[in-house]
Amino acid sequence: MSFRRRMPAAVLLLMAVAGCGPSDVDFSGPVAGWPEYGGDKGGLRYSPLTQIDTANVAALEVAWTFRHGDYSNGSPTETKTSFNATPILVGDQLVFCTGLNRVIAVDAERGTERWSFDPQQRNRTLEGTPSTRVCRGVAAWSAGEAAPATAACTTRIFTGTMDSELIALDARTGQPCRDFGDGGRVNLRQGIGPAPAWESYPTSPPVVVRDVVVIGGLVADNLRTDAPSGVVRGYDVRTGALRWAWDPVPPGWAARHTPPPPGHYQPGTPNVWSIMSGDEQRGLVFVPTGNAAPDLFGGQRHGLDYYASSTVALDAATGQVAWHFQTVHHDVWDYDVGSQPVLFQLEGVGNGAPALAQATKTGHLFLLHRETGQPLYPVEERPVPQSDVPGETLAATQPFPTHPAPLHPTTLRPEDAFGFTPFDRADCAAQIRRYRYEGVFTPPSLEGTIQYPSSAGGANWGSVAIDPVSRTLFLNQTHIAQVVWLLPREGYDAAAGTPGGSLSEYYPQHGTPYGVRRTVLMSTWGAPCVPAPWGTLTAVDLVSGQVRWRSTLGSTRDVAPFPLWLGLGVPNLGGSIVTAGGLVFIGATTDKFIRAFDARTGDELWRHRLPYTANATPLTYRLRPDSRQFVVIAAGGHAWSESGDALMAFALP
């Protein structure tokens, strides 16, 4: 039944007189939810919904806005917040977390609050943290139809906090599940060793596979060789009892080195800060790993980067490694795997094998067999530049996929330099000539090395979306370069105290002979020195491995003054979703917009101005046959923009 036929005749008459007749909304299509961070446990980010399509998307309007109030006030004593969460649909409510770790449930059609839970953070300011406060999402588990509908905690919400706790909540009330851990909480600091609260804590949602809730955590970059362990742990969903702990220590490593004290995990191991995936049928958890400590010099790792910058498959019941695939060997670029591994199985792709797509910061996309970790298509080990820094020994080769071929630009020459004027273009060209650059794996150096892509990517935690019908993968990337200097220890302290511009970062890397300075490669006008576009959305044919289209993503609005609001593409963090209506929805940019692209052509069909940047992945759902399809996104800023708190829903009028 169309929306027009359901409206009272008097209302239709008034609207006709006003000249703004209602849109026809098709209620005949499918109904679908969004029960996991990435749509499903495998992170496909695909919805079968068709009510919003390429023909009517331009009519989308704001259906409701929810303001949760948990964001930084900008004072010097308060740590900046980022609202990067993707809510999940649990029943008829959306559940999400804020940058201050409050968990909130809102009515999915009205945007009104149902309940909220405040964990009463002990570490609200997190003095000294180099990061913004962020919580990307929560996970849900249900006991199934056999459980009494009115019993407490038959459906549970799991969330991690910056107090390093795993908390279980009743999905109906938001109250802690008292039978889980200690009154609903599990202490994740156990076995980590002494460290400031801000140096190690979870920022991404847990994943639940076969009644085990699995959680990893962030470890602050480039501070020291004995950084907190990157351990990943699995807990019983009902009791909170520890089922297993995977400490990413190489096989046989403990026999050759002094192990940590009993009950403690190995310092310096790779962490899992980003989003994990799960395979219920196979009982596997897929984890994307970060770097062994520190990120940009590996001379003191002693082999602990065996599992670093990898996709690792763990047995959900035991935590044992089923397989692992390393995307970067002996990573000294901070090219850790930030993207969720995405699970799919398609005829014509890898002979129809159960597959996994792993996007990386380098612009490489690896298609792997989900059961073995073997590449579905040839991956070539190619020679790469070597380091001249004393104490560093790099891998002689790095893996390059061939299907698809690398998706990020692979060269940068002085004649490629960007500039708004001949003067700043000449400055950029001079910088490109000055610093060392020999391709994507040019190592950090004492004289300064260009890193392109930067440590932000390429792809980052937004990952990819896959349309299983058209067998197309959608990937958003940043195209920005950095300059990285290794600073000898005796000169690091003086250098770190010298102003280096607002975009300069200094890291001590205690335990190594070198600190680090890192900055964006910019012109005198403050524009990136590399060719535009600086942000793209790309569609890849998974069958052929060829790029179907590549569109510019974002404008310089909100980072440049008027009239320099140019469609040059911009850095982006956050991901896309794709629908059976033929649309790709994405925020992610440094400008305050959510956009919809035609999934077939890459044409931008719709955009809407937001109160803050939307550096989150959207979601879409439709609850009932007589209800509208909603597209929802968190607009709450990031490190590069103003903190905010808006959860916004869009629907057809």
User: Which residues belong to the active site?
Assistant: 334
43 closest CA partner among 364, 370, 326 = 370
DSSP 8-state code for residue 22: P
For the beta carbon of residue 491, count every other beta carbon within 10 angstroms.
Answer: 11
What is the distance between the alpha carbons of residues 36 and 15, in angstroms, rounded to a whole number? Answer: 39
Q: How far apart are CA 103 and CA 120, in angstroms?
A: 11
CB 349 within 8 A of CB 375: no
In the chain the first and final C-alpha atoms are separated, in Å, by 15
Tokens of residue 257, six digits: 């080195």
Residues 576, 459: Cα–Cα separation, whole Å: 12
Q: Which token pair is 399?
A: 């893996």
Q: What angle do CA 129, 131, 133 make, to 5 degrees?
A: 95
Phi first, then psi: what are they for 414, rounded to 5°?
-55, -35
- Strand, helix or coil at 198? helix
Q: Residue 166: helix, strand or coil by DSSP?
A: strand
Tell me the torsion sign for CA atoms 287, 292, 298, 301: negative
Contacts 24+ apart (CB under 8 A), 67-71: 67/645, 67/646, 67/647, 68/98, 68/102, 68/104, 68/116, 68/645, 68/647, 69/645, 70/98, 70/99, 70/100, 70/102, 70/645, 71/98, 71/99, 71/100, 71/636, 71/637, 71/643, 71/644, 71/645
